[in-house]
Chains A and B, each alone.
Chain A
Amino acid sequence: MNLMMLLEMASDGFGDRVAFCNGDDRLSYSELFRAAGAAANGVASSGTAHLAMLDVSSLALPVGLFAAAWAGVPFVPLNYRLTGSELESLVEQIVPSRVITETERLASLSELAGTQVVGREEFLAAARHEGASSQPSEWSMDPDEIAILLFTSGTTGPPKAAVIRHKHLVSYILGSVEFMSADESDAALVCVPPYHIAGMAAIASSVYSGRRVVQLPNFTAESWLELARRECVTNAFVVPTMLARIVEVLEGRQSADLPHLRSLSYGGGKMPQSVIERAMDLFPETDFANAYGLTETSSTIAILGPDDHRAALASDDPVVRRRLVSVGKPLPSVEVEIRDEEGNALAANERGEIHVRGEQVSGEYLGKGSQLADDGWFPTRDGGSVDAEGYLFIEGRIDDIIVRGGENMSPGEIEEVLLEHPALCDVAVVGVPDEQWGEAVAAVVVCKDGHQAAVPELQQWVKERLRSSRTPERIEFWQELPYNETGKLLRRKVRAQLVSG
């Protein structure tokens, strides 16, 4: 079980198909296979222990990923938005390493100890050139070797490196994708950055299904729409903030005018119900899928599929309608259980912590070892519940739970109710320090354009729908909420600003 097995099969099965394209540059599966083999020779002879990439998406990305697998070293995509000192602390954890990067960063990175730096274009050109003639070596078949180290976004603490072994990623692919299931004309638009697990999973699943990847290195809604039209894109994945931007840009147009777009999936954060509803109106022919997963689970573990989306949108039954904000049902290869703090399994509709088990679940961090229980279950630290028909609802991080006077409440529950208010388009609920209660419930809300609401009105709105203890004591109106670039709400920032302001 090695990522290389997936690429070798693709190269054997449909080597002449275009695998990746970036601008006008294209790489077929057999070219990718040979380039990865040549680059692997370089990695092996350099004596480095990691192959890192500090860069946006380019054709060097799949070459680097598979070259690392071939050479038997972990691939480490680094977040190019981090500042110099943040980056240094990550790079220190992976020495000795070879770092592929853009030209502008070559000088500053080469000063770091134990780090060899190579420019993206130079790396790619050499791999392609040597790939045409060189004899690649064998690769390891040890399924326990590390495929990818991914520093998690650290919304609740400093970044730590999730360890994803070949067996995890390959199990995910074998459990969710059929070999060569894509038509030759299929194309997936990938706009998530390489350091996001969805970016890594997209490469592996596209390679195995034979679907051409169209790379969009720097997302804007306008460039996404333009590229999707030009490349006749059939499949795409976006994070919620991206879909919100796309919907905004399309408002006022008659339709999205993307006749080839069959499937649009999203994940990586909570999707506001209003955004997905408007998107479904704008893309009536497109199948929507909501994917829920974590870095530590090698991407998707649950999916709300197209039929569920349509049934929910068309339904007057509030139980069915609410499924539009669920993440659907677990993959057949994955088990999910909701448990209380003592570890007891909870019944339908009871809120607790989401635990997950399956071959794709790594649950391991560099230097900290595996967090899996002896029986393989992984506590995700995500709160959630499962309804009577098995639909999974995410309530946010357990660590964000507000404890008010000894009562635990999840921000997600209060946010969901506030978002139903007709004047609001975005909301964040956090706990703030309170002398009397320990923590008090505070809400930051964003009004839709041309709408306004009063604090007592919003408090009454929550009080009528939830217990009075869940009514926000404090409500502030902001122009927008702070998100990271992959669509995760930065609660730390909301809390910090409320406390200091």
Chain B
Amino acid sequence: MAILKAGTRLRSAVCSTEVMVVAAPKEDIELTCGGVPAIELGSEPPAGVEISADAQNGTQIGKRYVNESGDLEILCTKPGEGSLGVAGALLSVKGAKPLPSSD
């Protein structure tokens, strides 16, 4: 469990997924990927962890993932097989809201 801050980079312990935190509530959160707690980018996964069968819908590069209340937003920077989740609930893909191109 940790307080996630905007800009924090994490990786999956069980697949190739890498993410960046875009927005997060100011409370302890455990982000999971493939059903296993995500770890700091650059750190090694603990031994013996395996992807959970009910969390392998995969992540897509560039997609933003949000929780139900919408206060947690995670950007996928490298795709993988696992699904992102918090407290047992999977995150869902946030719909894009296109802005007029300005530059």
A binds B: yes
A167 contacts across to B, CB distance below 8 A: 6-7
Residue of B nearest to A301 (CB): B102
Docked CA distance A461–B67 (Å): 58
A12 in contact with B78 (CB, 8 Å):
yes
Q: Are A331 and B103 in contact (CB under 8 A)?
A: no
Q: Please name all residues of chain A whose beta carbon is closer than 8 Å to the beta carbon of B47 when the two chains form the complex.
A: none
In the complex, are the beta carbons of A299 and B103 less than 8 A apart?
yes
Instruction: Say which residue of A13, A181, A198, A306 sits within 8 Å of B100 (CB atoms).
Output: A306
Residue from A13, A305, A332 within 8 A of B62 (CB atoms): A13
Residue contact B100 to A305, C-beta cutoff 8 Å: yes
- The segment from B26-34, B51-59, B82-90, B91-99 found at the interface with A is B91-99
Determine if B49 is an interface residue (Cβ-Cβ < 8 Å): no
Q: Does B20 contact A (CB under 8 A)?
A: yes
Whether A303 lies near B100 (C-beta < 8 A) is yes
Chain B contact residues: helix, strand, loop or mixed: loop
Complex CA gap A206/B57 in Å reads: 29
Residues 10-57 of B contacting A (Cβ, < 8 Å): 20, 22, 41
CA distance A188 to B77 in the complex (A): 24
CB–CB A9/B103 < 8 A:
no
On whether the beta carbons of A181 and B96 are closer than 8 Å, the reply is yes
Find out whether the CB atom of A287 lies under 8 angstroms from the CB atom of B100: yes
Report the Cα distance A1→B41, complex, angstroms: 13
- Among B6, B62, B99, B103, find the residue whose CB has the most chain A CB atoms closer than 10 A: B103
Query: With the chains together, A173 CA to B101 CA distance in Å?
Result: 11
With known contacts A13-B61, A141-B9, A181-B96, A174–B75 Cβ distance under 8 A: yes
Q: Cβ of A5: which chain B residues have Cβ within 8 Å of it?
A: 20, 77
**CB within 8 A of A303: which of B62, B77, B99?**
B99
CB-CB nearest in chain A for B21: A1
Give which listed residue, B6, B96, B98, B103, contacts A1 with CB less than 8 A. Answer: B6
* Cα distance A178–B76 in the bound complex, in angstroms: 12
Chain A contact residues: over half helix, strand or loop, or mixed? mixed
A265 contacts B101, C-beta separation under 8 Å? yes
Nearest residue, chain A, Cβ from B61: A13
Identify which of residues 213-270 in chain A touch chain B, using a CB-to-CB cut-off of 8 Å. Answer: 235, 237, 263, 265, 267
Residues 289-318 of A, flagged 1 when their CB comes within 8 A of B and 0 if not, give 101000000011001011000000000000
**Given A174-B75, A179-B61, A181-B96, are A303 and B102 neighbors across the interface (CB < 8 Å)?**
yes
B63 neighbours in A (Cβ, 8 Å): 179
Q: CB of A424 within 8 A of chain B?
A: no
Q: Interface centre among A178, A235, A305, by most B CB within 10 Å?
A: A178
Within the complex, the shortest CB–CB distance from B99 to chain A, in Å, comes to 5
A188 vs B103: C-alpha distance in the bound complex, in angstroms? 8
CA distance A287 to B102 in the complex (A): 11
Q: Does A201 contact B (CB under 8 A)?
A: yes
| Structural contact, A263 and B101, CB atoms closer than 8 A | yes
On chain B, the residues within 8 Å of A141 by CB distance are 7, 9, 41
Contacts A1-B7, A9-B61 hold; do A289 and B100 have CB atoms under 8 A apart? yes
User: Which residue from chain A places its CB closest to the CB of B41 in the assembled complex?
Assistant: A141
Decide if B61 touches A181 in the complex (CB within 8 Å). no
What separation, in Å, do the CA atoms of A205 and B98 have in the docked complex?
A: 13
CB neighbours (8 Å) of A202 from chain B are 103
Known pairs A180-B62, A263-B101 / 16 extra A-B pairs, C-beta < 8 Å: A1-B20, A9-B62, A9-B77, A9-B78, A141-B7, A143-B6, A174-B22, A179-B61, A205-B101, A237-B102, A263-B100, A287-B100, A289-B102, A291-B103, A303-B102, A305-B99
Q: Can you list 17 A-B pairs with a CB-CB distance of less than 8 A?
A: A1-B6, A1-B20, A8-B77, A9-B77, A143-B7, A178-B62, A178-B98, A179-B63, A181-B98, A205-B101, A237-B103, A265-B103, A267-B102, A289-B100, A299-B102, A300-B103, A303-B99
Closest 7 CB pairs of A and B: A179-B62, A291-B102, A1-B7, A143-B7, A305-B100, A289-B100, A300-B102
